[in-house]
Structure 1
Amino acid sequence: MDLFTMLAENKIREAMEKGELNNLPGSGQPLELDDMSHIPEDLRAGYRLLKNAGVIPEEMELKKEIISLQKLIDYCYDEKDRTHLIKKLNEKILRFNILMEKRKVVSPALSFYKEKIYARFQGY
């Protein structure tokens, strides 16, 4: 244990003994941890900023659009509109597949989490 760790541990122990850490906000609540272990350390800050800003990756946006188009096609009875929607759907699927092919080379972690990610966004 280095000097700074020992000092920090002593300060924490003293605060606990004095009761300074009692009744803190969120006490007794489970922690919500962001598991970013699959993301390289130098990219984590950027990913966290994007996540907090509500930005989702392009492939997830495309997946949501694909699902919406599939639902529209299911309820479309006009043949001309249906053909147009199918064309748009095929373009989105093609773009999605291209993005996913690129991701296979860049990020092996994506293949590990891919099914979990898709399952989570199926409800949108």
Structure 2
Amino acid sequence: MATRLARKLPSSFSAFSSSPITKLTSGISPPSMSHGGPGLRCASSSSSSSTTTTGSNSSSSKREKKITDRLSAVIDAVNDRKLPTELRGQRNKVRSETDIINVVEQRIWHSMEEGQFENLAGKGKPLNLNTNPHADPAEDTLYRILSKNGCAPEWVELNKEIRNKVFEWRVALKKAWTSKCNGNDEEKWIERCESLKKQLRDINDKVFRYNLIVPFGRQMFGLKWEKEVARLEE
């Protein structure tokens, strides 16, 4: 039996070698690594994409630089228009506001020498202070109504009240300090200090409220106990 199988094996092997699968596998060759192979094709495609990216970046940077140059040119033109005609186109020579002020003063002197201020309307007449051309029309009307009725805006009245309170408080502090320096009881000085500090807090509260309602630029500082006492010690 074994001998028969051994005799049949070569024929089976030959049949297997001549089968269609063997023919198909024998026809398959390994991937070529020649000049036009897939590996080099990928490398060439990646290099071309990197070149395209670099080109797009350079074009975008050029576009941004062009826009920046245009904006800077517009800003320079606007700043140049703000200058007097004598200094236009010479912004590099303008070092400070003093140069502009000098040009304005020269214009005023030239106008005075030419007599342009001689025949002004209202010359020699009192100024009309019933209206404020720099104030809002609604506020100006309100202020005139208050003035005719003998009243003033709240912040004006509060300003007067604060100044009177500060004056009275400083007089009281000076009296207490003089009494202390004359050798009076220390306990009275401490009691007066507590009372004066309470009044100082009330004054500072009014100052805080005043600063909230007063027009811009008219704010005032509050009082500080240490600073007021240091003034008396000097």
Give the TM-score of the pair, scaled to structure 2.
Answer: 0.29
Q: Which has the larger radius of gyration?
A: 2
* Bigger relative CO (Cα 8 Å, ≥ 6 apart): 1
- Provide TM-score, normalisation by structure 1: 0.49
